[in-house]
Amino acid sequence: MKAALISNPPYNMKWKAPAFAQLQPRFAECCVIPPENNANYAFILTGLEKHDRCVFLMPTSILSSRLKEESAIRTWLIEKNLVEAVILCPDNMFTSTSIGTCILVLDKNKKTATTEMVDLRRKYDEEVREQNGQYGSPSHTNRTYKKTFKVITEETMNETVSAIKERKSIQGFCKSVSIERMKEDKCTLLASHYIDIEEAADSHRSYADIVADINRITREKNACKLTLNETIAKGMGFDIEIYKQDQQELGLNELLEQLGAEKLEKQNYFSTSKKKNEIKFENNSKEHLSSILVMILQNWKQHIYYLNQEENRYLAELRDALIPDLIGGNVQIQPSREYR
């Protein structure tokens, strides 16, 4: 057996498929090339080609993405019985991003025809740690803040390993799901879709707590607002109607007020524009730089760095071409008109 792989690749990066990529072993078997606007599945298929067992820490978007290529790859992984387990991690596990994360376990030598789905989003402890500010002026970066971190305990880790090994189904925590069931549900790998919500006749979380969680997600979405030209949005495959539905009032606030919960906050993270070629991101959070914007800026910086390298290469080529011609008199520098 080849050595196992444990990987936490960069999330949601662009990549360039090489020429004749469809002939490369990593893509040839599933007959799908991952989309160039997102390398998540390119990392997964590359790892799977070289190793029999792979464990990836990835964004949860890979589990239910609607992109045609990613959906096709996910279907292939399920039909080939390669998905050993999917583990949903607690929200905001990492200080560098608030993107939801999951652990995807793939195994070419599975002994069962089921996938173990595990939900750890509420199975965590909290630790308070000190750290300095990350952005802004020295008055911020030199200041020490106390921050609460979510951690997974050793006990929870052992419970998770046991659930995967023994293919357990425990209400609210884990479920063993057949290939047939996943295919019936359009091959989504989102664990929470399959795990039975823990219910008791006389007990559930308070409405205030549930609504607080919904509003926390809404604030995270609203922290970065995208305004996009409608034609560009349609050309890029944005389902505008879904975003419009997200931002409609649900009409529950009066009932929630009676139940002692706060109002549902209005969603305001996307709008379309008639202005030609308009693409505008706004950071709406007064407390911190939106994690979505951080990701965009990091990708922008990386791409500009690459373009600068390419530009320097061509400038050097121009220099090397000009110097001999200037020395040999083959090229004459004419005075600029403004200095004549």
CA torsion sign for 157, 117, 47, 109 is positive
Residue type at 73 in one-letter notation: I
pLDDT band at 13 (very low <50, low <70, confident <90, very high): confident
Between the alpha carbon of residue 232 and those of residues 222, 227, 283, 296, the distances in Å are 21, 11, 21, 18
The pLDDT tens digits for 234-261 are: 888 888 887 777 666 667 888 888 888 8
- Which tokens in the block code for residue 329? 């008199």
Taking residues 12-41, what's their average pLDDT?
Answer: 91
Taking residues 5-17, what's their average pLDDT?
Answer: 91
Q: Are 117 and 177 in contact (CB under 8 A)?
A: yes
Separation of alpha carbons 115 and 106, rounded Å = 10
Q: Are 223 and 292 in contact (CB under 8 A)?
A: yes
Per residue, the 3-state secondary structure of the chain, as one string, reads: CCCCEEECCCCCCCCCCCCCHHHCHHHHCCCCCCCCCCCHHHHHHHHHHHCCEEEEEEEHHHHCCCCHHHHHHHHHHHHCCCEEEEEECCCCCECCECCCEEEEEEECCCCCCEEEEEECCCCCEEEEEEEECCCCCHHHHCCEEEEEEEECCHHHHHHHHHHHHHCCCECCCEEEEEHHHHHHCCCCCCHHHHCCCCCECCECCCHHHHHHHHHHHHHHHHCEEEEEEHHHHHHCCCCHHHHHHHCCCCCCHHHHHHCCCCCCCCCCCEEEECCCCCEEEEECCCCCCCHHHHHHHHHHHHHHHHHHHHHHHHHHHHHHHHHHHHHCCCCCCCCCHHHC
The pLDDT tens digits for 69-113 are: 999 999 999 999 999 999 999 987 876 666 789 999 999 999 999
Q: Are 128 and 146 in contact (CB under 8 A)?
A: yes
Between the alpha carbon of residue 254 and those of residues 216, 248, 340, the distances in Å are 20, 15, 77
CA 171, distance to chain mean position in Å, is 27
The predicted pLDDT at position 58 comes to 94
Q: Which fold has domain 5-194?
A: Rossmann fold (3.40.50)
Residue identified by tokens 């975003």 is 243
Q: Is the pLDDT of residue 39 over 90?
A: yes
Q: Where are the domains of the chain?
A: 5-194, 207-288, 294-339
Q: Name which of 259, 157, 163, 248 is nearest 207 in CA terms.
A: 259
The predicted pLDDT at position 105 comes to 97
pLDDT, the chain, mean:
86
Separation of alpha carbons 106 and 28, rounded Å = 18
Q: Is the pLDDT of residue 337 over 70?
A: no
Q: Is the pLDDT of residue 201 over 50?
A: no
The predicted pLDDT at position 189 comes to 96
CB atoms within 10 A of CB 63: 22
The pLDDT tens digits for 48-68 are: 999 999 999 999 999 998 889
The pLDDT tens digits for 103-152 are: 999 999 999 999 999 999 889 998 888 777 665 566 666 777 777 788 99
pTM, to two decimals: 0.63
The predicted pLDDT at position 32 comes to 93
Higher pLDDT, residue 258 or 9: 9
- Which tokens in the block code for residue 37? 């606007």
Higher pLDDT, residue 312 or 216: 312
Q: Residue 133: which residues within 8 A CB-CB, separation 6 or more? A: 140, 141, 142, 143, 145
Residue 108 has phi, psi (to 5 degrees) of -75, -10
Separation of alpha carbons 316 and 176, rounded Å = 59
Taking residues 190-198, what's their average pLDDT?
Answer: 83
Separation of alpha carbons 297 and 289, rounded Å = 11
The pLDDT tens digits for 276-335 are: 999 999 888 766 667 778 778 877 887 888 888 889 989 999 999 999 888 888 888 777
Separation of alpha carbons 277 and 263, rounded Å = 36
Separation of alpha carbons 26 and 248, rounded Å = 43
